Amino acid sequence: QVQLVESGGGLVQAGGSLRLSCAVSGRTFSNYPMGWFRQAPGREREFVAAISSSGSTTIYKDSVKGRFTISRDNAKNTVYLQMVNLKPEDTAVYYCAADSAVMLRIATMIPNWGQGTQVTVSS
């Protein structure tokens, strides 16, 4: 069973930056695309970014393009999400996923999630 542990969230002012990390175990990390999703209170979990198993392909939600960067370190079994110029609408719990379905951007197709990390952006 895959285990995912997200970290790096916090409270920042609008315009600030955070770097999220997700450590993965229980799965051959380098075989799987990785993704970040987020869920704000009262809203459905939504796609944020994904990266292919090799790292050669990345995709993003339109509203985060140019501000967020997803990357991975296959030697460390870790995926990252660098977030700059954060906005109040980025406030949510952020989750990572290790599953081929991340490239389809559909959260309901992904069976395993970590506990998430809270990101709060104040205006």
pLDDT in tens, 81-100: 999 999 999 999 999 999 99
Contacts of 110 (CB under 8 A, 6+ apart): 35, 37, 97, 99, 101, 102
Give the closest residue to 104 by CA, choosing from 29, 50, 57, 24: 50
pLDDT tens digits for range 9-61? 999 999 999 999 999 998 889 899 999 999 999 999 999 999 999 999 999 99
Q: What is the pLDDT of residue 27?
A: 83
